[in-house]
Amino acid sequence: MTLEIPEVVINRLPIYARALSALAEEGESVVSSQALGDKLDVTPAQIRKDLSYFGRFGKQGRGYNVNGLLAKLREILGLDQQWRVCVVGVGRLGHAIVEYGGFEPQGFQIVGAFDTDRAAVGRTVGTLSVRDAGELEAFLRTHPVDIGVVAVPALVAQQVVDRLVGAGLRAILNYAPMPAHVPEGVVIRHIDPVLAMQSMTFYIKQAEAARG
């Protein structure tokens, strides 16, 4: 049944979970869809519709139980679990990713870092020693990994994605500036600052046109 939930809905759930987590830390026990929506620039109707895919939460006019809804979202998304991540490409960006402090507290542990550059291999980044990318498949056979992060140049990104998928990974986070393909049953997310910028210039142009 949950297979029919639109991907855009799934993509919003972590945002709701994060906002609820902040509310819980502030000691709030109840939140209305209006107040939650105000925090996130999402309409209350959208929030209610998104959550309706997963059952009934909250009572009309009473708002949501913060801890109850948070627990449910964490279960749906697997946020309470530990997930193992490997990073392929340890240039400046990959380096920043491996050393980024935001993953581990959220249950994402980076267990392997790989590069083809002989100067990088063997270097310590964070708590890891960078491995030769040639050892990727051998590593993945013996170390369970859930998510592969691709931080290599665009030209070799598809090849790296194919190798990760071939080794059995089903979730890819791609930082390379190209839309890598994955087969059915594999999920991929692209981190692409150029696309993000290009989606904003439309609005800058509009505002300039409105000012005349």
Nearer to a copy of itself, 30 or 191 (CB): 191
Interface positions with a copy of itself (CB under 8 A): 2-3, 8, 10-11, 13-15, 17-19, 39-41, 76-79, 81, 83, 85, 91-93, 95-97, 99-100, 102-103, 106, 108, 146-147, 149, 154, 170-171, 173, 177, 179, 181, 185, 187, 189, 191, 193-207
**First vs last C-alpha separation in the chain:** 51
For the chain, what is the radius of gyration of the CA atoms? 20
Do 11 and 22 form a contact (C-beta atoms < 8 A)? no
188 strand-pairing partners: 172
Nearer to a copy of itself, 135 or 195 (CB): 195
Nearer to a copy of itself, 119 or 194 (CB): 194
Do 76 and 55 form a contact (C-beta atoms < 8 A)? no
Pairing of strands 83-88, 108-115: parallel
Nearer to a copy of itself, 17 or 51 (CB): 17
CB of 151 to a copy of itself, least distance (A): 9
**Residue written as token pair 């070799």:** 156
